């Protein structure tokens, strides 16, 4: 299949491009489009056959439900069988934006979208190109992140092409995503709303809005617990090279660990903030086989750059990646959730002066 790549413009008239993309949606085809979080792989959310094409393009397990994207708050009503006060309040406060609400589903929503669950996930994205596409299509757009299942989510149209060329009708290029991590998913059907996936709308913001909010216990950093959002159980967001995440005080060992992995003959990727990258650079000098990537200074910068930095390590042939963790306040919760999954829960911590991995994880040979 030919995949068109159409660049949207901040100043020009995008009408004709949006109209062609919307026509694809109405014909049951799959269209990749930008949102403020990550790029989505969209199709007509009320058409089972179209939704099937999303699963096929992504290679997505069929027990993993999709998010329906709408372009105004009122469009939530017909998709849901009864909204409670919490759902209404969250929609009022945070939409349009990086928040997905899980609500009881109405008969309008195909089972293929909700993967057989009695609930459906709905989001009203803030990105104006996404809004224009949904409006022009005239129906809710079902869209997962536009990556091959298991790969880091795409945050530019070029990332999407890397995974989807030849598999979908078109990619709308709208530049880099502002937030860079997938939306916060909140189950509004439980007595106290529960965060199933942390994202740009933080725990603190939700607590402030609702008074009380729960966090799915599976998000506390251990691998063993089974998450409530079906999609959160897969190894996800993963670059090709194994990634080790340095948590807490272990971040201070980063230069030394990079040196050990280089010594073992590996191409080493390092992901850390500006200061630690500078420190690692001056400790090791520039060496062939060492790829240093700084995410800047603040968590917003890390969130926005995280997935493209992970993809970049693949492009540059890293054989092992060492990433420095951050604290879990604010956006830190979402960042650490994605990093732990990208690492397959291979988190290194300092205990009594020794670097340890969680039980059952294999110590790599360079970790002496
Ligand atoms: O930011 C985002 O949310 C992006 C953009 C494109 O909007 N979309 C996205 O979709 O990340 P996806 O399919 O990659 O992730 C959707 C998550 C999965 O973890 C899925 O299991 C969960 O939401 N989910 C969807 N419907 C659900 C439901 N009814 N109950 C519980 N979890 C649900
Ligand atoms: Mg995804």
CA-to-CA distance for 133 and 136, rounded, in angstroms? Answer: 5
Q: How far is the CA of 300 from the centre of ligand 2 (A)?
A: 19
Q: How far is the CA of 153 from the centre of ligand 2 (A)?
A: 6
Q: How far is the CA of 183 from the centre of ligand 1 (A)?
A: 8
- List pocket residues of ligand 1, CB cut-off 6 Å: 35, 37-38, 40, 64-67, 100, 102, 114, 117, 119-121, 123, 125, 143-145, 182-183, 185, 196-197, 229-232
Size (the chain), residues: 368
Q: Whose CA is nearest to atom 12 of ligand 1?
A: 144
pLDDT of residue 229: 79
pTM of the model: 0.95
pLDDT tens, per residue, the chain with 368 residues: 999 999 999 999 999 999 999 999 999 999 999 999 999 999 999 999 999 999 999 988 878 899 999 999 999 999 999 899 999 999 999 999 999 999 999 999 999 999 999 999 999 999 999 999 999 999 999 999 999 988 889 999 999 999 999 999 999 999 999 999 999 999 999 999 999 999 999 999 999 999 999 999 888 766 767 778 776 665 667 788 999 999 999 999 999 999 999 999 999 999 999 999 999 999 998 888 999 999 999 999 999 999 999 989 988 999 999 999 999 999 999 999 999 999 999 999 999 999 999 999 999 999 97
Number of other CB atoms surrounding residue 125 within 10 Å: 29
DSSP 16-57: HHHHHHHHHHHTT--EEE--SSS-EEEEETT-HHHHHHHHHH
Q: Which of the listed residues 32, 87, 129, 145 should we mutate to test ligand 1's pocket, taking the one with most ligand atoms within 8 A of CB?
A: 145
Q: Which of the listed residues 30, 100, 337 should we mutate to test ligand 1's pocket, taking the one with most ligand atoms within 8 A of CB?
A: 100
Q: How far is CA 75 from the centre of its chain?
A: 24
H or E element that contains 99: strand 99-104
pLDDT of residue 105: 98
CA-to-CA distance for 255 and 274, rounded, in angstroms? Answer: 13
Query: Model confidence over 155-171: pLDDT tens digits?
Result: 999 999 999 999 999 99
pLDDT of residue 47: 98
- Which tokens is 303 given? 């969130």
Ligand with an atom nearest the CA of residue 200: 1
CA-to-CA distance for 60 and 142, rounded, in angstroms? Answer: 14
């Amino acid at each position: 299949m030919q995949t068109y790549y159409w660049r949207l413009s901040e100043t020009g008239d995008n009408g004709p491009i949006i109209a062609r993309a919307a026509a694809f949606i109405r014909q049951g085809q799959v269209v990749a489009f930008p949102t403020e979080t990550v790029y989505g792989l969209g199709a007509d959310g009320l058409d089972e056959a179209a939704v099937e094409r999303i699963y096929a393009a992504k290679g997505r397990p069929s027990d993993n439900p999709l998010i329906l994207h709408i372009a105004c708050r009122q469009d939530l009503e017909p998709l849901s069988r009864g909204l409670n006060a919490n759902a209404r309040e969250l929609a009022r406060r945070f939409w349009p934006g990086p928040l997905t609400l899980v609500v009881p589903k109405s008969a309008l929503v195909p089972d293929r979208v909700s993967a057989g669950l009695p609930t459906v996930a709905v989001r009203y994205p803030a990105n104006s190109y996404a809004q224009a596409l949904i409006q022009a299509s005239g129906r809710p757009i079902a869209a997962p992140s536009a990556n091959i299942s298991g790969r880091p989510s795409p945050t530019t149209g070029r990332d999407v092409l890397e995974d989807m060329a030849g598999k979908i009708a078109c990619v709308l290029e709208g530049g880099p995503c502002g937030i860079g991590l997938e939306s916060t998913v909140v189950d509004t059907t439980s007595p106290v709303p529960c965060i199933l996936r942390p994202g740009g709308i933080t725990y603190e913001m939700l607590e402030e809005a609702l008074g009380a909010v729960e966090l799915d216990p599976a998000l506390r950093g251990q691998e063993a617990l089974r998450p409530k959002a079906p999609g959160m159980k897969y190894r996800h967001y993963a670059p090709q090279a194994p990634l080790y995440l340095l948590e807490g005080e272990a971040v201070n060992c980063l230069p030394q660990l990079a040196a050990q992995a280089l010594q073992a003959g590996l191409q080493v990727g390092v992901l850390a903030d500006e200061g630690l990258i500078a420190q690692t650079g001056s400790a090791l000098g520039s060496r062939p086989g060492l790829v240093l990537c700084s995410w800047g200074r603040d968590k917003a910068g890390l969130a926005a750059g995280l997935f493209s930095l992970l993809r970049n390590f693949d492009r540059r042939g890293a054989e092992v990646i060492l990433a420095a963790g951050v604290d879990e306040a604010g956006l830190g919760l979402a960042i650490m959730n994605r990093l732990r999954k990208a690492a397959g829960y291979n988190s290194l911590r300092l205990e009594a002066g020794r670097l340890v991995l969680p039980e059952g994880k294999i110590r790599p040979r360079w970790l002496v």
